[in-house]
Every structure is written in structure tokens, then in C-alpha cells.
Amino acid sequence: MDIDPLDTEQIGLKTLEKHLIRTRESVSLRIGIPKETSHDERRISLTPGGVSVLKANGHQIFIEKGAGDDANFTDRDYAEAGADIAYTADDVFRKSELILKVAPLTVKEFELIEPDQAIISALHFGSQTKEYFELLTQKSVTGIGYEFMRGSDKEFPIVRMMHEITGSIAMQIAAHYLESVSEGQGIMLGGISGVPPATVVILGAGITGEYAARTALGYGAQVFVMDTNLAHLRRMENALDRRVITAVANQQYLNNALRFTDVVIGATVAEGDRSPCWVTEEMVMNMKPGAVIVDTVIDQGGSVETSRPTTHSNPVFKEHEVIHYCVPNIPSNVARTATYALNNVLVPYVLAIGDAGGIKECLWDNVTLRNGTYSYKNHITKKSLSKMFDIPYREIEMLIASKI
């Protein structure tokens, strides 16, 4: 079959169409996908192609009517792929044993979730409450969070995908808010002949930071990357062929860099915990008027003291004459691309759950899903959440070993 080289949505996705051989222990899963109702969330966790793969492997998929509209996937697309279109969220939750979502459960969805159901979604623990986890344990929900899913290769597959998108989009956002029409300084990221480029400071040398740096270099900006981990800075220098300037993120270097920068990209990450806040309000006060901060980790607490969550419909505010963009779900701005990215990572894990005989059986063998589990059988299973919200926890390995 010929592939159109310009059809970017198909390149690299054909391997998903290969149907796996089901084992004798495998089960048919009832998978539910409700319409996302969190503010400005436009993504959906499965594409029609992903649905067809799961359907061919014997699973049943219930998708709420209109769930894919914001990502430009129609109900007809999903129905033709083999999904059952449900007319209400209540219908989806009632018929399903495994719920796939993008955003965490909402208050209304907590009323719909059934005891002993499993949910795979983002957790956004930087904006969660103790009550959220208490409700999960009361209903004996198995919760698997994107932020915790880590493979034996130490990679976070879903987080990486979203961080690649976030880093790239963050620079496009910064370029827009530097323009005069956005009340910025009225400068270009890359400059032109005879006019120096903008200066960009990226806080954090992780995946978001790397893709922000790649995009900023593509624009022609001068790029500084700061981190507290020298190994991460070395990796960044090697990955980008030493085209970036790196520095340890101590108070002296941060103060000097922020005083002269035009753009700050906040991308500090702490695995399974709130993001470290490196930029104080005093540092922001000393920044240029019209400079731009894009805090990409605001959903995990933020990199900048003056940051507070905003929305796609009202994305920016000014603090000390500095423009702050602090939207938690930046990839939602490119909902179709982000949905393909999510689908490509999630489908193999859902197939693995079915092949193992169910979620409980799969946790024995699948290290990524086991690492991703933060709630299991009336227990919170992450020490970081226990410390953050002062709730008891038990290790997931102990729980599944005791056959609870």
C-alpha cells in the first residue's frame, strides 16, 4: 500500500494495525472513553485507528457522543472503527471496567465511577486535593497516572510524548507574546541581519527543555539552559551539538540570566513530586518589562513563584510588567497531534492488560503500569502522595504479592 509522504498522521502509525495473537489467559475488556469536561481540554485518549486495533483484539469500546469533536474526530469515525457510541457519561461509566481519560476525574465523574473500576489518566497532582485520593480509595479504584508510568528503561513514555509537544509549542507561544500586538517588547526571537536575536532562558534540561531549546535554536534565538543536574546539562549539550549555553541553576546565575533575558521557559521537573520553584518574585521584579514567562509545569506546581494557573481562553496575566503564560494543558492546543501521540503509547498497554487477563494480573508483569499505579484496592501506593497529602500508603508490590 502506497503512503502519501505528506500525510503526517499516517507515517509511523501503520504498525498499530497489526493485530496481536491473543493468549488463552486473555480477556475481553470493556473500555470507556467519556467526553472530557475539564476546562479547555480538547484531547481524547484514543483515535479511531486505535479503537479498530482494540476491537480486532476482542475488546469493546464505549465512547461518549461528541468525545472526539474537539480533536476533529467524529462519532461516525469511531462508529466505523467499531466503537459503541454512548449518549451520556453515565452510560460510559456504567458499562465499562477500564476508563481511559486525558484529564483527572472531575467531581461529577467521581459520582459516576463504579467500585473496583480502573482508570488511566493524567493526575496533575500539583493541583489535587486530599479528598481526591480519599474518594478513590473509598471506591477501591485502581488509578494509573501518566506522570508515574515509567518503564524498565527509566523513561516515562506518555510524559515524554506530551513534553516533546509542550517544549515545541512553548516557544511558539513565547514568540507570539513578544510581539507588540500582545503588549510584549515588540521583538523577534531570531532577529535579522544587523539586529541581535532574543535571549531565551530555559529552566530544566529535561525533555520539555530540550524540545524548547531545539525550537528556539530553529528560530535563531540565543539559548541558555539551566539545571541543578550537571549530567542533564551535559546530555543537553551533546544532544544539541553545544549550540546552547549551559549553567548550573544557582542563585547567582539565575539572577544574572533573568535580568537580561527576553523569554523564560519554566520546565523544572521532579519525578513523582511537585516541580521545584527556582525563580523568586524578586527575580521576576528585576526582569525586563514586556519579557515573557511560559511556565510549562504549572500543573505540577510551577517553576516561578509568581505563576498561577490560567486557561486557553484567558492564558496570560502581567505581574511586575512581565507577561506570564501558565496554561496547565498546553498540548491541548494541538489536540489532534496530541491525541495521536497518546493513542500510540496507550494502545499497547491496553492490549497488554487484556492479554494478561485483566488489570490485576497485568500489574504482576508490566513494570510500566505497576510503576504508574498510585491507587489500588483501598490504598494509595505512592510515597510522594502520602507525604504531600498526609495520607497512609502501601507499596504496590506488597499489595499484589499479598493477593489483596
Single out the catalytic residue among 40, 70, 124, 262.
Answer: 124
Judge whether 91 and 68 are in contact, CB under 8 Å: no
**Eight-class DSSP state of 391:** -
What cell numbers appear for 238 in the block?
551533546
The amino acid that residue 87 corresponds to is: Y
DSSP states of 169-229: HHHHHHHHHTSGGGTS----SS-BTTBPPPEEEEE--SHHHHHHHHHHHHHT-EEEEEES-
Alpha helices in 107-149 (DSSP H): 107-112, 130-138
Judge whether 304 and 293 are in contact, CB under 8 Å: yes
Single out the catalytic residue among 40, 70, 299, 355.
Answer: 299
Residue 7 is a catalytic residue? no
Residue 153 is a catalytic residue? no
Judge whether 327 and 315 are in contact, CB under 8 Å: yes
Strand order in the sheet with 118-121: 84-86, 60-64, 30-33, 98-100, 118-121, 142-145, 373-376, 379-380
Which residues are known to be catalytic? 124, 299
